Amino acid sequence: MMREIAAVIFFLKRLVRKGEKLESDKIELFVERLAVALQEKFKGHWYPESPSKGQAYRCIRINRFHRQDPDLLRACQESGVKYGDLGLPRELTLWVDPGEVCCR
């Protein structure tokens, strides 16, 4: 689970840096809080023997119906970052499964 969360953090950190709205220390605090939030969320919902089980629960999604992902919002609140300052795309889906992280 830690490798997959690290992949999510790496990807999102690059996206946030690209937006150039946050200082490096704020980005670091945000990704630290996000890593903790994802670890807590995935505990008990991680099935290496059946990676697709619980896939929807582990999904990070932003779209026109879900403009703010709850896990990203939690990390923002805990790190003092405004969600809009993340500069994320209007549509983003990350599937976090044992052994694989995919983005659309």
Domain boundaries in the chain? 2-103
Contact call for residues 74 and 33 (beta carbons, < 8 A): yes
- The confidence score (pLDDT) of residue 43 equals 95
Does the domain at residues 2-103 carry the CATH identifier 3.90.640.90?
A: yes
How far apart CA 69 and CA 41 sit, in angstroms, is: 13
- The confidence score (pLDDT) of residue 33 equals 98
Q: Which stretches in the chain have pLDDT values below 50?
A: none
- The confidence score (pLDDT) of residue 21 equals 95
- The confidence score (pLDDT) of residue 91 equals 96
**Amino acid, res. 91:** E
Helix (H) or strand (E) holding 7: helix 2-19
State pTM to two decimals: 0.93
Q: How far is CA 7 from CA 38, 64, 66, 67, 80, in A?
A: 12, 25, 22, 22, 23
